Amino acid sequence: MARYHFHRVWRTLVVALSYSLTCAIATADAAAPSSPTPVLVELFTSEGCSTCPPADRFLERLDKEQPLPGIEVVVMSEHVDYWNHDGWVDPFSSVELTQRQNDYDLRFKVPQVYTPQMVVDGVRQCVGSGEAEAEDLIRKAAELPKLSVHIRGGERAGTVAIEVSGDARAGHRADVYAALAENDAQSDVLAGENRGLKLHHVAIVRKLRKLGKLDRNAGFRGELSVTSFAGGRAIVFVQDPGSGQVLGAAMYRIPK
């Protein structure tokens, strides 16, 4: 009887221990944080536009505070040049970024280009200072499936390595882009609508180029020189050239 009782107690302890371990593992798995979903947010802005500073500040808050749980907001500040004739030449503006906005607005069928304009994952747009609407668009964009985009330090000094996973849903049309951006900068505006203001910007795009096409089976692998952007950031994203939809994005802070 004593021997039978010992085995019964031992089996009970083993079952209890196994159950406890299973529960602990399940709890740990449930508590393990998943990677946040990246959403690309582009702000078309200008230092010559009096309604842009609030949008610039909102973009900075999205970048620094990352206020939306489960979402990584990958921001790009893109300064257009069509305000430069009003007394102040935006030092960060370029005709290429103006053309990028024009291409978007042809798809959106807006009556005319404007600033500040925020574009979310390439397919939704709103006034850049409209925080509630922009956050709602970002949440909706995060619900869609994303391609896996990775950026890391390259094997050669002054480079980064880029890898994008293949995915049949992306087809053969998707383009891989890289933007090199200043991490942050500020200007003392001496003329124009913002005369007398000190304006601060983050993720200021200085170079934007297409790296190549995404192969839906092999994905994409490449290397990018970042020699002139120490202390800045590299942003890589995959975009469908027809719809403009951004299928995946990532940001990498370049060491000083």
Q: What is the pLDDT of residues 121-169, one digit of tens each?
A: 999 999 999 999 999 999 999 999 999 999 999 999 999 999 998 876 6
In eight-state DSSP terms, residue 228 is G
Class of the 37-253 domain?
Answer: alpha beta
Q: Hey, what are 9's tokens?
A: 């107690």
Q: For 58-72, 121-135, 171-185, which range has the lowest pLDDT when averaged over its residues?
A: 171-185
Amino acid at 89: V
- In this prediction, what percent of the chain has a pLDDT beyond 90? 80
What pTM value is reported for the model?
Answer: 0.86
How far are the Cα atoms of 6, 85, 93, 241 from residue 192, in angstroms, in the given order?
89, 9, 15, 36
